[in-house]
Amino acid sequence: MNNEQLLMLRPDVAGLEKAAAILAEGGLVSFPTETVYGLGADACNDTAVAEIYKAKGRPSFNPLIVHLADVEAVTDFCKMNDTAHQLAAAFWPGALTLVLHLTEGAGVSKLVTAGLDTLAVRVPDHPVAHGLLTAFGGPVAAPSANPSGRVSPTTAAHVAAGLGGKIDAVVDAGECHVGVESSIVSCVGEPALLRAGGIPVEALEACLGQPLAVPQDPDVPAAPGQLASHYAPQGRVRLNAASAEEGEVLLGFGPVEAALNLSVAGDLTEAAARLFACLHALDGMGAKRIAVSPIPDHGLGRAINDRLKRAAAPR
């Protein structure tokens, strides 16, 4: 087990203060929730969020769930409509994630939302998660604390076995009791079940007094590049471009002359952290044709290239 560099923290006041300090410095801390152990980072820190993808070895940038201490904190970042209030009153804290309209200027990293204007939020029902979120005092982005493609961890030992040497600390509070992921309900438009999970769909529907829509799997596109839930820039995108042609705006990587550069230093973590902000900036510039420098296809470069390929697919 490669966990020499992994700090094991106790779930007491000192341990949670240390964990919150690591998050505030942009570090990665795994913490228990009632569902599984999460891999947490400051949701407002682009680089810290990029480190989540790096540590997990995720080959794509799916939006992440943001964890908050209570409903009041949620209203600082999202607009809660009637559906959201009803579900929150019945199931929070708990194993339910709500997708809500993001409040503009709330400061959440675009890498958390994958550039979307919606945010997935959850108030976990676990005293240690609650203690950490309170001590940190801000939104914590957290997918499950396992390497991509591996089983979700329900003990600190699982986290250490999978991510030891790749993250800063884990708060050890024994086993998670739900053991499956949260149910996800979109409250944007018609209420819809995006993922079945810890809260039974019957209970959700009984609460709302109506059936939940079950959209087509948002990750299975009707046609290439038509992922409703995936942000893509307005302009046409050409990949692996050595330089911009006439009429193109270059999104650079490395030491190239470009209108915008993902990372002049050629650093993949920096490039991941800046990706969605750059895509939005290209829209802001009214770029109709976008050329993108080659990005190395390893580490975070794979997730960056996955997203750029989707942006470049015919629409």
Which residues contact ligand AMP (rule: CB under 6 A)?
62-65, 99, 113, 116, 118-120, 143-144, 181, 184, 194-195, 229
Whose tokens are 């009984």? That residue is 206
> Residue 195 corresponds to which tokens in the numbers above?
């993922």
The nearest distance, CB 213 to ligand AMP, in angstroms, is: 13
Q: Which residues bind Mg ion (CB under 5 A)?
A: 144
Integer Cα distance of 78 and 118 in angstroms: 8
Least separation in angstroms between residue 293's CB and ligand AMP is 28
Choose between 39 and 279: whose C-beta lies nearer to Mg ion: 39
* CA gap 278, 287 in Å, rounded: 11
Give the nearest distance from C-beta 229 to ligand AMP in angstroms: 5
Residue closer to Mg ion (CB basis): 39 or 308: 39
Q: Closer to ligand AMP at the Cβ: 56 or 130?
A: 56
Strand-strand pairing, 183-186 and 96-102: parallel
**Minimum CB distance to ligand AMP, residue 108 (Å):** 10
Residue 132 binding partner per list Mg ion, ligand AMP, none, with a CB distance cut-off of 5 to 8 Å that depends on partner kind: none
Provide the H-helix boundaries in the chain: 13-24, 46-56, 71-74, 82-91, 110-113, 127-136, 156-163, 201-208, 268-284, 300-312
Q: What region, left, alpha or beta, does residue 149 occupy, with left being phi > 0 and alpha being psi -120 to 50 degrees?
A: left
Residue closer to Mg ion by CB (options 144, 305) is 144
Q: Break the chain down into helix, strand, coil percent, rounded to 5.
A: 30, 20, 50
Output the smallest distance, CB 217 to ligand AMP, in A.
10
Q: Which is nearer to Mg ion, 52 or 308 (CB)?
A: 52
Which of Mg ion, ligand AMP, none does residue 35 bind to, with CB < 5 to 8 Å depending on kind? none
Read off the tokens for 232. 């893509």
